[in-house]
Amino acid sequence: MSVSTAASAPTICAPLPVLGRDVTVPLVTGGEVTYAALDYAASAPALQRVWDDVAAYAPYYGSVHRGAGYLSQLSTDLFENARRTVAEFLDCRADDQLIFTRSTTDSLNLLAAALPAGCQVFVFETEHHASLLPWQNAEVTYLDAPRTPRQAVETLERALAARTASADGGHAPALVCVTGASNVTGELWPVRELAAAAHAHGARIVLDAAQLAPHHPVSVQDLDVDWIAFSGHKLYAPFGSGVLAGRADWLIAADPYLAGGGASRKVSRRADGGVDVEWHESAARHEAGSPNVIGAYSIASACKALTEAGFDTLVARERYLIEKVREGLAGVPEVRILSLFGDDAPRVGVLSFVVDGWNSSHFAAALSAEYGIGVRDGLFCAHPLVRTLLGSDPGTQGECGAPEAAPGEKSLNAIRVSFGAGTPDEHVDRFVTAVRELVTDGAQWNYRTVDGRCVPAV
């Protein structure tokens, strides 16, 4: 995957309009500045298109799958059309199910609850906690962090080949869970090759596309994954919805993720006083309760907007921004960018780094308070990976997203800058300038730690 350079800037498209692009924030040094939102990997701003679509629908909001009235029927059609739109966006197979959930975390916990008995799960230690932790009730094999994409495939192949055969000479069901793009380094993982390795050994694979889907086209069929999970709030649709899409058999065989209205087709009392339930076999089986129609509609709207903008154009612009950041940080010797696969590895617009002589929380606080730039600091809900990249003791304690020491003290955390389709050049330019100035001149303000977070001293 080639990387565009600054020389290609004249052909790069403008950023997509997003909410908050004109918001101003105060600086501790005086005055105000337009806020530079560079924490897309946590939650991306809503596309203006998504907001407009939701606002246009809001007066017609009604119950889904529940009522005979016009608004209920309209909302039901909109909800099911959203399902079809997202399935098309993901290039799902004809017999796949697409379930609307709350988030990637919710999607993967749903799949974990649907695993067949005796299922073995294989997951790299490099995963976000959303895909690292849901498998606690299964037999889990945690794989060491690879240092090349090829090593990732080889590590998985060895682990799958070493599975213990069952009494009948076969193997228990197996599931591989892998990210498409790291939420820490932004590096792209060899999903297609990992899927081929999984299938060659009789295993299935689920793709955590939370960081991939907002930046690159994702095809279930081309990647040959069995399931895919992602969150709306990272796809410019922050209305509390997510997606799990893929093969139906395990989902149909499992008890509903939530028991309640909507999941049940028929409920009747038994003579002994109990209750018999017949559950749906469609996606409704795992969508009990009143569905988040606005969340589902917002995801569909974002999918349409990204498709219409053209991923070729969006990817080209993002590569240009990535190169601007990398070139800018390369000129600051004190900065070390974290990477598993090396500097030239293809990535999405996510980079994490540390600065010699700085506590990462202190640095992030100064970026915000003195420059109006929002980034992330901490361990990014990927503790084992960040510890590996920092060369830290795996047993060292840390909190997700919060610093562990006062400014200037040794601390286990890093800084993450992330951007996407709505990021203007000025935000990236300001960020690079701010890093250089902070490293060269130091902070202009004093900071202290309050409730575990570095903040400007009053």
Catalytic residue positions, numbered: 381
CA dihedral 249, 254, 257, 259 (to 10 degrees): 120
Beta bridge partners of 98: 245
Q: Give, in order, the Cα–Cα distances in Å from 395 to each of 144, 276, 339, 373.
A: 15, 49, 21, 32
Is residue 100 classed exposed, middle or buried when 0-12, 13-18 and 19+ CB atoms within 10 A define those classes? buried
Whether residue 385 contacts residue 182, with contact meaning beta carbons closer than 8 Å, is answered with yes
Q: Which residues contact 254 (CB under 8 A, 6 or more apart)?
A: 113, 114, 115
Q: Give, in order, the Cα–Cα distances in Å from 64 to each of 48, 69, 166, 199, 411.
A: 25, 11, 45, 38, 49
Whether residue 345 contacts residue 322, with contact meaning beta carbons closer than 8 Å, is answered with no
Q: How open is the CA angle 150-154-155, to the nearest 5 degrees?
A: 115
Q: How far apart are CA 46 and CA 51, in angstroms?
A: 7
Paired tokens of 244: 């799990």
Sheet holding 376-378, edge to edge: 335-337, 350-355, 414-418, 376-378
Beta bridge partners of 324: none
